[in-house]
Structure 1
């Protein structure tokens, strides 16, 4: 039932599919572009802005976090030295040496200081010129007001203090508790100048139409990329850090009044707010995000640009859309023409491929050459393939080809052991017969003879292995497994006998000698599959079962010397012939190369099996079929 419910597919000619479907698709694309161009362009522009907001804000946040992570890592990595006693408040000189190494190896550290519970401290200060100043109790000139000690407990983690300003710059600071034996004994603090961070963030500014900024403590501006020339006109009125109002940037001064824009859900999910602010006849788009954790107040990072940028983008996209429409109209026309040019040879290829799939190679016509390089290459390769298949099919049976293709080729051909039924034939007295014929006559005679044998084997689903002189080796049960392989082999043998009778009648009418034949059939285990080496392989059967079959055929000289066709089968084969009428027990025989005797049956070439399979009946010679265990 499952096999009969195969899915059916709608099939269409390739020419129609390529020409009309592809051409129609292009035409439909043109109509859709005409209808959706403006909407799509605006949507794409906002999508790009969405991605831009995410990319820019993420880049700013990444630089911010990278900068402060290095500062935080410095105190985290140095704290164990205090807690293990390798650095001690009573031996400040040894501690200063390690702290100098920590500051010297990090360009982001300005001050590294250890403070005990009494408020006494020591540490290292890195001056703007890069010089390191170790100090005890008091920071060098210019290093004061770079950090604030927060209230910590033994369980506190890294804690950031407020942003501090002095004559040499802005500083962020982080502190960790120093704990020994479960008791807090002091504080380790690192301070970092924000000058390098500000320069790194200002480098993200994309030009005069974009302004990047960093704010903290509500409206205090730390970084501003256009402090010398605002987009709105004017310039910064106060050195940074400064409040937005004191600095004089009207966009940041009115940041709280900006209206949040819809259409930026992707950015919003990442904590990025996109808003719009109108200032007189100009409007601005602002992208910002809040970054907590590196001061007592959250940081606000972002960028703003004039809204006219979006209008220009839409105008450019509209112009590109018009050019695209014209190009697609041309493409639609070319698609119809190319579809027909390409599809015609492919249609021819499909037609010829159907014949190749069934190995009807005599019905395959050569494909014509093409001016399209790839199609011409395909045509030449196909024609060469057909020539090769025709040559191969001369030596490999078509039935075996079909079976291996159906079963999966390489896996089906792997050598394996299987229970098979082997059939071996041989012409009686062919050597003497061939002495009266020329080489051409001998070849024609054998070809006609083997045609009869091959037709009988293949019609019964068998596989012709090889021709050995005037003999033939065939088998059933591989490559496709079947339970009735013994019955099929016997049917093929009897058909050979019937067809040989017709063949002899025709030969006699032509004045040619008649043929007598011996056939051996045996069932048993054998190795079947690819046997050979390198590039010379044969799909064949080997093993004792094959040898026994050949010996049975040879035994026919004794048991059927006067018969036109003698068919000898082993008891193993006869045991698998339910309803067999014409099996006569010939006896037990010692075959060459075997240490034990083999029970042999002589089959009547003209007998017809009983369709009521499995009934036991007496056979000629006093035996029973199937043979009893006693026999």
Structure 2
């Protein structure tokens, strides 16, 4: 006889142990992979890694240095060649314009030149500058236009070689300038200066960029970034890329900021012999580590230049992956292992993934989306499935009686600590429907429950919107509080805002009720702050997270006192002087006219008198907000 088991039954199924299944499979997988692959790959990997990185360091930095020198040496070569033509000629003011043909010819022949100028010892100048459109414009004497001021004359002697001055920014373009002295018989007569744009170096940096994990850069004068291949990654809030030059700190490139203090790696002998320094730019803020390759270049200005690039360190290892192509046995074992791993992991992960997906719904208390898990032939999975199904059934039952907002707070704060009974300063509201007994006389039991459910849904929504906790429903009334289980200093403000939200919702519901010909509802609300005991209260297996204390009674008495203050009004919100004092201290939104003192009264069942305030229920919740320092309540 074949015994049939219900799909979700509690019968025990015989199955394969997942521990044995996964253990044997992964043990064999790791053993085969390690024996066949590690012996072949590790030795070759260790031997070739530094060789590859040495070659890469030398090739990339030398290519960048060559491009930089080629560009700048065009300018220095031009002024050195023209020096022999100009220095034996007169440089007085009237003779300067005679240099025009040679200057124009030199600038036409050398597109890299943006300015070429002759300056005599008295400071008179004659030269040509290239405009943004490419047109050449002459200038002379002291009438040098702003657009042509792309150079600074260095201090040089008659016998000085071609000397590079400091970088000059004109408009949004950065220029390098080089000057040679013009002398006769050892006597300095003037200067010949050429300026070239550095924009070409920026384009060169972008051309040499290997991809998203590499950055090419040029730094002048030790700390001035003049070219950066990934400058768009540092765009300002308006979306525009920053304009170079910028200091390393101004740019905010964390890799370059670590460049000056990072240690030089000693394993790159060939790179070091070629003048290339390789550094490990370790991150100290949890970001990626980088490997930099730099070279120092002197002779192009007052300070030295640094050219190089850096890579995300994890990407460098990809260059040695080609070594595995020769390890045929290792490659085959890896492919086999990969196939087995995929099949096994997919098989094992599918049910676990399904448990995880449904557990997320449980964590969100969204039990309506949690379907029962089916039976499994794997013994451990079957036990977990059945335990999960039983847990969901129990949580559904419990959640029927425990507010979801309270349940989430206790789970977030930790039930063991948050639910321990303790004395706390809280704010409470107590609500009641005026004359509900007579109102329900003409309703069926089902309609009465429907009206109450709709009413309580509005109340609960207002309380939870302000982060409050619904304690219980008492007939047609509700008790809610703020300040527990999670502490908050503005609990009095939150309670007041909830009262006003309830009032606004009541007016809207009553307008709809009158339009439909139904009887409107009138309400009373008490608002009070004070110290009570809050936490788990009960015995044995019957516990309730609630508040206990005289302050709760005061709140209920305030609600009842509403019938004496305004028995016919649609909404009456009465607050104690204690609650108002807290609101005065924390908020400036509740000003004069929004709350009225109705006197000092002895409430039912109490020996002492308290000051009672009536809150204007037409005030919107947004008018009561915490402000720094607080504003005293007028009146």
Interval of TM-score (by shorter of Structure 1 and Structure 2) = 0.3 to 0.5
| Structure whose CA Rg is larger | 1
Provide TM-score, normalisation by structure 2.
Answer: 0.46
